[in-house]
Every structure is written in C-alpha cells, then in structure tokens.
Amino acid sequence: MIESIQIKDVATYGETSEHLSNLSKFNFLYGSNGSGKTTITRVIADEGKFPTCSVTWKGGTKLQAMVYNRDFVTNNFNQSTELKGIFTLGEKNFDTLSKIAAAKSELDAITKKIESLNLGLLGEDGAGGKKGELAILDEQFKNKCWSAYTKYKAKLAHAFEGFRNSKESFRDKVLKEWASNFATLEVLAILEKRGETVFGPTPTIEQSVPSIDTAKAVAHESDAILKKRVIGKEDVDIAAMIKKLGNSDWVREGRAFYETNEMVCPFCQQSTTEAFAQSLNEYFNETFVTESKAIDDLATNYTTDSARLQQQIASVIAAPSKFLDVEKLKAEKELLDSKVTINIQWLALKKKEPSQIVELESIGNVVSTIKALIDAANSLVTDHNKMVANLAQVRRGLTAQVWKHLLEVELKTDLADYDTARNDLNKAIADMTAKIVATTTDKGTKAAEIRALEKDATSIQPTIDEINALLSSFGFRSFLLAKAGNGTCYKLIR
C-alpha cells in the first residue's frame, strides 16, 4: 500500500515539494483539467522516470503498480493491427485455481514478513528500528567524544589538527586511534608542558649551560697543612719553655718587635743575650718558614679559586637557561658564599696562629648540588635540541601520546560500551538485512510461480468468441477479432 507521495519540478508542479500523506487503502483524487491528476498516476506507474518525485510504500515493500490512465489507453488502444489482449479466465481449471489461491496467500504472508522485517530494521518512519538505534548510539558516542575533546583543546588543540571542526570526523578519528594507537601513556601535565614547546612557535637551538670548575676549590679543604701544628725547632734552649707555655704564636708575633727593639724584650723590657737571640732564630728555622709560607699560599689560592668558582656561578645566574632551576641555584650559591666566607676566616686564623689546627667548612655537597642542577639543565637542553632537529617526528609522537591519553583516561569505558552495543546492533542489522534479501527472493519466486499458474489457467480465445458473437448479434459483419500469432494478443480482421 502507498503511504505517501512527494512531487516537485514536473508538469504543473513547481520547485516547492507537494506531499500527499496519510493515504488509506482507497483514495479519491479529483480536480479540474491540468491540475496534475495524471502526473500523479504517472509517478506511481514509473517512479524511476521522475527523479524529483518519490513514492513511499508501507513497510518499504514496493508492489506492482497497475495504472489506468491516458498513457495506458495510448499504449494499448491504438491504430495497430494488433492490440494487447485483455486477459480473462477461460476454461476453468479448479486445481490450478486452488494452487493460485494458495500461492497468493503464501505471497501475502511473504509480503507481510518483509514488511515486518523492514519495520524492525527501519521503523514506521524509515528512521527507527535497529538502524535508528544505531544512529542514536553513534550520535551519543559522538557527543561524548566531543565533550572529552573540550578538556584538551585549550593547551593541546594542535594535537587534534584536522579533526576540530566536525564532531563526526573527530568520532571517526577516535575509533581509528582506538584500533591503531600504541603510544606510551603519559600524565597530562607532562603532555601540556611538552606541548608548550612542540606545538608553540617553531623552537630554536638552545645553548648549553657553561660548566664550572670545582676541583681546585674543593681540593684545598684536604690540604695537610691545615691539620699540622706549625711550631719552631724543639731541640733549642727556649723550645721547652715555649712548648710548656704553648705560646709559640705569641712568641712569633713578638719576635718582630724584639728585632726592632734591638734585642730588648718588648714585653718585659729586659736585655737579652746573644745566645737567646740565636736560640730564637734557631727555633723559627727554615722548616717553620716553609710551612708558614704554605699556609700563606693556601690562604691566597683558596681565596682566588673560590672567588673564581663564585664568579662562574654568578655568570650562569646572570644569563640563565630556561631549562635551569635558577631559584634553587641562587639558594645553593648563597650557601656556598657563606661557607667560603667562613673558610677564609679560618685560613686567616691559621695564618695568624700557625700552631692551631683548622678544619674548613666543606663545600663539596654544595658544589655537587650545583653541578647536578647544571647537568640536569644541560640534559634538557640536549633533549630540546634533538627535538628541534627532529621537530616533525617529535610532533607526531606527542600527538600520538595526546590521543592515547584521551582514549585511556577519558573514553576507555565509553569505547568499550560503544563497541559492544555497536557490534550487537550491526549483527542484528546484518541478520535482518539477509532475511529481507532472502525473503524478497522468495517473493519473486512465488510471484513467478503465480504468473506461470495464471498463464496455464488463462486464455483469450473465449473472449474472442464472446466478442465476435456479440458483434454478430448486433449486425456487425465488416470486421471481427482473431488471436494474434503470439497467442496473447488480439488482431482486428476487416
């Protein structure tokens, strides 16, 4: 049964589509000449000739259309010597008629089965059924994919280049990535940080952070002279007294005043002997002088080397690399500066009192931390420069990781549910489609069977005889009908 007809751009119908809907089993159309009644019948008779028009059949099952209009009259009643026959049942073959009736009943059942399958597949309006469920499922999943994308587009939009303007294409890309993306899963913060460089303005080669020389400054800490009591010769006359009093450093400082005071003790103002002066000189012998010089040299070298180290670090801070933790480096330098200041004070004390044992504040841990900061920065510089040299490949890799994060963190559960539901629906659709194809084939076979039975049970000869008898009874003797050569048509004999 026809449910609706849509017509436009043909005969008297314009570009605006006209609709005949809510049709019943029997419908009557009436109107003045030229209003388009015949056009409607022509569309029903052969829809294929009118691409701008359409006929909707109940359940999607198209039936054979039998149309009687002026085209039928032209095609069947013309001036040809042979006219297409009007088939009527002639000799009754009750067995054949029973078979025809049974076959038609079976054909009706097949038609209803096709309608039922089409209803389950497409629904009453052509947009429902299993295909409608699939369309709804696809739409819902499409919206979930798009919602997930909105969380990433602020900082990682470049990873979705080419799929940001269409929900459909984005959903299709998600499904493609789900099947083929084997990238490693990274945390979002790392991806966003890398994205600032990789997806931002084209990056340039970065210079490495200058290394610092810490060996000399650190080596001074273990100088043996620091732990040695530098005193005079012990086998001279005054050595026992100096050792007992523990005033070697006091005597050494007073010696300069003694020599200036012309061998008169600068403290007690008593004159001394030549032997005392000689003992004093022997006490502070060449070894003492050499070791004292070693202390002076250590203090000088330590001050120079530590200052050089501090200057190197200051230069790094003054022109920092963007990969360097400058604030931490500043904090470590402050600690280093304080230790160096203390050590210079200790060395000054050692110079003043050579007999004192001194232990410098170790800067080893501090400079190790500073070197680690610089090494870490240079490692990042190396990675950055490799990235710049292979930017296209790095962008592809980061893009794959961003998609992987989207799939695993945002859509993993939705993808699994969607895949299961979609497979079930596709299986049902495939099964119903296969049944429709098979049942449609059965319908064609059954229709062919009915046509064969009707051919056996139909003859035009009784009709010819009845028409000729009717003509004769009314006195028409100038013409009669006869069977044409093909046995299915009339011919007019004058």
Every domain of the chain and the residues it spans: 1-72, 181-231+291-403, 233-284
- Asked if the model's pLDDT at residue 458 lies above 80, the reply is no
pLDDT of residue 342: 92
Q: Which range among 70-74, 85-89, 133-137, 223-227 shows the weakest confidence by mean pLDDT?
A: 85-89
Comparing 224 with 271, the larger pLDDT belongs to 224
Average pLDDT over residues 199-227: 85
pLDDT of residue 260: 60
- Asked if the model's pLDDT at residue 77 lies above 70, the reply is no
- Asked if the model's pLDDT at residue 235 lies above 50, the reply is no
- Asked if the model's pLDDT at residue 102 lies above 50, the reply is yes
Percent of the chain whose pLDDT exceeds 70 = 81
- Asked if the model's pLDDT at residue 222 lies above 80, the reply is yes
- Asked if the model's pLDDT at residue 171 lies above 50, the reply is yes
pLDDT of residue 50: 92
Q: What is the mean pLDDT of the chain?
A: 82
pLDDT of residue 486: 61
Contacts of range 91-99, beta carbons closer than 8 Å, 24 or more positions apart: 91/459, 91/462, 92/457, 93/456, 93/457, 96/453, 96/456, 96/457, 97/457, 99/453
- Asked if the model's pLDDT at residue 123 lies above 80, the reply is yes
* Confidence at 55, pLDDT banded by 50, 70, 90: very high
* Alpha-carbon dihedral 106, 110, 113, 114, rounded to 10 degrees: -160
pLDDT of residue 220: 87
Average pLDDT over residues 60-64: 82
Comparing 89 with 15, the larger pLDDT belongs to 15
* Confidence at 204, pLDDT banded by 50, 70, 90: confident
pLDDT of residue 287: 59
- Asked if the model's pLDDT at residue 285 lies above 60, the reply is no
| Burial of residue 180 (number of CB atoms within 10 Å: 0-12, 13-18, 19+) | exposed
Contacts of range 133-140, beta carbons closer than 8 Å, 24 or more positions apart: 133/425, 134/422, 134/425, 134/426, 134/429, 137/418, 137/421, 137/422, 137/425, 138/171, 138/422
pLDDT digits (tens, 9 = 90+) for 389-419: 778 788 889 999 999 999 999 999 999 999 9
pLDDT of residue 33: 86
* Confidence at 239, pLDDT banded by 50, 70, 90: very low
Comparing 204 with 53, the larger pLDDT belongs to 53
- Asked if the model's pLDDT at residue 460 lies above 50, the reply is yes
- Asked if the model's pLDDT at residue 145 lies above 50, the reply is yes
pLDDT digits (tens, 9 = 90+) for 293-341: 788 888 899 899 999 999 999 999 998 888 899 999 999 999 999 999 9
pLDDT of residue 461: 73
Average pLDDT over residues 207-221: 89
Percent of the chain whose pLDDT exceeds 90 = 37
* Confidence at 276, pLDDT banded by 50, 70, 90: low
pLDDT of residue 41: 92
pTM metric for this prediction = 0.48
pLDDT of residue 147: 92
